[in-house]
């Protein structure tokens, strides 16, 4: 497990990496095993409609599970003093990014809260918004990382 970035120690981490969480894979594994168990149980009970549903659920979840397992070590975001990189896209420099933030939104009509990573790309005038639910970070850790790396960019380029 990687340590939390200390906001006061700017020399600590050279880059902040965000991955998918492993909990999504475990959930998908439980779904596949449950669909297989349901298939076997309802087959023995001669309930063909439920057997068909369980079979199709099992079959369609296998490729998604394999894709999730293969992608567990893929870096989703790379944040450093040069900029932000999303997956295998090109790195967007800090000079072309503004208003980067991690926000928590309280959904009034639902019982769940959502956290987002949002930043604006200046040149193509594009707003990037990502739900943090499936990623290996939270709002506070990401906010600290964004602050540190933005300040490093300013310090390295004498922008104050």
pLDDT tens for residues 61-89?
Answer: 999 889 888 888 899 999 999 999 999 99
Sign, CA dihedral 87-89-91-92, equals negative
| Contact predicate 32/38, CB 8 Å | no
| Contact predicate 89/76, CB 8 Å | no
3-state DSSP call for residue 117?
strand
Sign, CA dihedral 52-57-62-63, equals positive
Whole-prediction pTM: 0.77
First-to-last alpha carbon distance for the chain, in angstroms, is 34
Opening angle at CA 92, ends 141 and 160, nearest 5: 70
Residue of higher predicted confidence among 73 and 160: 73
**Is 47 a residue whose pLDDT tops 60?**
yes
């Amino acid at each position: 497990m990687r340590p939390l970035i200390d906001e006061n120690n700017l020399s600590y981490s050279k880059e902040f990496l965000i991955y998918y969480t492993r909990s999504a894979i475990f959930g998908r594994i439980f779904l596949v095993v449950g669909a297989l168990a349901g298939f076997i149980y309802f087959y023995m009970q001669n309930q063909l409609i439920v057997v068909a549903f369980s079979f199709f659920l099992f079959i369609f979840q296998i490729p998604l599970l394999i894709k999730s397992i293969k992608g567990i070590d893929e870096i989703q975001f790379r944040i450093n003093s040069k900029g932000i990189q999303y997956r295998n896209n090109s790195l967007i420099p800090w000079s072309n990014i503004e208003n980067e933030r991690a926000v928590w939104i309280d959904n009034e009509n639902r019982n769940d809260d959502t956290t987002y990573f949002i930043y604006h790309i200046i040149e193509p005038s594009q707003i990037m918004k990502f739900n943090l639910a499936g990623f290996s970070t939270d709002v506070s850790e990401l906010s600290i990382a964004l602050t540190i790396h933005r300040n490093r960019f300013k310090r390295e380029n004498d922008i104050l």
